[in-house]
Structure 1
Amino acid sequence: MTYDDQDYRRRNSLRLQGFDYSARRVYFVTIVVAERRNIFSDQRIAKATIDCLFELRRKLGFKLYRYCLMPDHFHALIGTGESKKPLGVICGSFKSISTRAYWKWYEGKLWQRQFFDHVVRNEQDFFETILYIKQNPVRKGLVNTPEEWPYTGVVDELQ
């Protein structure tokens, strides 16, 4: 496999400059598949990726309030309060272990290089984000109701 220089050039950070991502916060995270391929239409990869998410949650101790694995991207509402790891480490670890699982069936890059995050600012923002993640498969026309989508769920409840 070969890479051109574009794969290694410095990219502008999507992180807020000067923001403390190690603080205990809740984040809405989006991670996109490289070239927006519909790789998670393959049920083996979708299941393996979710298994990686649960294993990482167990190891790192972050809260997973809602997740949804779409054919070409992933959404999660993550609380870093219980974890000693900042958001970048959590997302980087998830991308790394899920890519290794993906390599059982395919070669190459699974994810785009960066991820997108939104700091959840208040309770209303939290519940609007939950609804957005839950409704994503319906909005995209993949199912009629959120309950029909097999790759979404709530793991931790807000206390």
Structure 2
Amino acid sequence: MYHSNRLRTGRHSQRGNLYLLTTTTCDRHPVFRDVVLGRSVVAEFKAAQMDRWVHSLAWVVMPDHFHWLIELGDSSLEELMRRVKTNSARAINRRRRTSGSLWQTGYHDLALRREEDVRAVARYVVANPLRAGLVDRLGDYPLWDAIWL
């Protein structure tokens, strides 16, 4: 069981640090099987980068969660995740003509050390659809990207 209060314990945001962020939809509902809805999350990733809140290194939007590898810019992790989750939920609820929570409370963040193989972490992120059996080739999955392409 996810305990969002425990996830906040010891959380530290530092500009320029690398983080792997993960969050899930409420009840792990596979909202993003609809690629159009998944693109609402992608739009928020891109908006955060345009506003210099992050530098996106790799991401994947899975049917019920996302993984996002970033270098933190002009925001805190809490501000960033609040923005992405709030704005994407609004857009998706508007498109589906629904209301209510889309995302599970909280998120998971993993701070990476500079000496870690960041490309290996990025490969792990973008290979999620392959490991989940959603596609046979990564190129067949529409909701992922990495700067090393």
> TM above 0.5, one fold?
yes
Aligned pair in 2 of structure 1 residues 66, 11: CA closer, same or farther (>3 Å)?
Answer: closer
Give the 3-state SS of the residue equivalent to 1:113 in structure 2.
coil
Q: 1:16 to 1:23 in 2, by over 3 A?
A: farther
Conserved 8 A contact 2:21-2:108: yes
What is the identity, as a one-letter code, of the residue corresponding to 1:97? N
**Aligned residue among 36, 46, 69 for 1:54:** 46
Structure 2 distance, partners of 1:85, 1:118, is: 16
- CA offsets, 1:73-120, max 9 Å, x none? 00010101xx22111111111001101101111322110110001111
- Provide runs of 4+ in structure 1 moved above 4 Å: none
| 2:120 paired residue among 128, 132, 135 | 128
1:97 corresponds to? 87
Structure-1 separation of matches of 2:52 and 2:102: 22
When the two chains are superposed, the root-mean-square deviation of aligned CA atoms in Å is: 1.9
- Aligned-pair identity (%): 26
Query: Is contact 1:60-1:90 (8 Å) kept?
Result: no
| Preserved CA contact (<8 Å) 2:35 2:142 | no
Looking at CA atoms only, which structure, 1 or 2, has the larger radius of gyration? Answer: 1
Count of aligned positions = 144
Residue identity in the other structure for 1:15: R
8 A contact 2:45–2:56 mirrored in 1: no
Corresponding residue of 1:147: 139
DSSP-derived class of the 1:124 partner: coil
Counterpart residue number, 1:13: 6
TM-score computed with the length of structure 2 as normaliser: 0.87
Gap runs ≥5 in structure 2: none
User: 1:137 aligns to what?
Assistant: 129
Q: For residues 25 and 139 of structure 2, what CA distance do their matches in structure 1 show?
A: 24
